[in-house]
């Protein structure tokens, strides 16, 4: 019998891989929107969320964005997405550790939350990005149960992306996909300044 060449072995390995992947594809039959939670201490949560908004809009599907906590920043994604007609709601105040006023923070968060609830009830929106939402729940600016209910009751085909660290358990429990970005190294710790176009 002819000896198996490395090419044969490669082919067999790839065949097995294809069978494995195809069986998983065949098993995933449900069609519904999903909740994605992007969390962890590393860099890449918001950029991943915005990347998915772009992916959605690139297919002529509608998306909306609510950005909690960091509205004071001149956000590069916002400048592009608003031009494309993507609704973009931001908190009027900036970092909570800047304002140091719970009453003001709560009002600002509630105002964006009111707009968010409208997006979560709009079947036209394929995707809603809730950037830095975890902090709003964690600091109690908006009741976590209210957030959970609004997300659970959204239109069936709508997907939601939540970003932020330290997500309350009640909120992470309703996520279908959770990815944790690990902080292995960050330029900031080597004293390198945050940069326009890279960090915001």
Q: Which residues of the shown chain bind ligand ATP in the complex (CB under 6 A)?
A: 41-47, 163, 181, 183, 186, 188, 194, 199-200
* Longest pairwise C-alpha distance within the chain: 81
Encoded one letter per residue, x for contact with Mg ion by CB under 5 A and - for no contact, window 23-52 reads: ----------------------xx------
Nearest residue to 91 via CA among 79, 73, 76: 73
Closest to 109 in 3D by CA, of 66, 149, 75: 66
Tokens, residue 164: 């932020």
Q: Does 67 bind Mg ion (CB under 5 A)?
A: no
Give the nearest distance from C-beta 24 to ligand ATP in angstroms: 29
| Binding partner at 95 among ligand ATP, Mg ion, none, C-beta below 5 to 8 Å by kind | none
Residue whose tokens read 């908006």: 142
CB of 47 to Mg ion, least distance (A): 8
Q: Residue 107 is encoded by which pair of tokens? A: 């009002």
Nearer to ligand ATP, 170 or 194 (CB): 194
> Which residues of the chain form contacts with Mg ion (CB under 5 A)?
45-46
């Amino acid at each position: 019998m002819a000896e198996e060449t490395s090419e044969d072995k490669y082919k067999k390995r790839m065949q097995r891989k294809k069978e494995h992947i195809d069986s998983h594809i065949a098993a995933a039959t449900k069609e519904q929107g999903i909740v994605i939670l992007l969390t962890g201490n590393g860099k890449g949560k918001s950029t991943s969320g915005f990347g998915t908004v772009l992916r959605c809009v690139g297919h002529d599907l509608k998306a909306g964005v609510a950005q909690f906590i960091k509205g004071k920043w001149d956000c590069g994604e916002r400048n592009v997405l608003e031009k494309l007609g993507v609704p973009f709601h931001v908190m009027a105040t900036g970092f909570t550790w800047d304002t140091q006023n719970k009453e003001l923070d709560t009002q600002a968060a509630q105002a964006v939350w009111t707009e968010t609830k409208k997006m979560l009830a709009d079947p036209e929106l394929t995707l809603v990005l809730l950037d830095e939402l975890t902090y709003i729940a964690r600091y109690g600016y908006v009741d976590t149960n209210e957030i959970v209910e609004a997300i659970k009751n959204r239109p069936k085909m709508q997907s939601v992306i939540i970003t932020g660290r330290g997500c309350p358990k009640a909120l992470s429990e309703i996520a279908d996909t959770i990815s944790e970005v690990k902080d292995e190294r960050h330029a900031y710790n080597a004293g390198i300044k945050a940069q326009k176009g890279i960090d915001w």
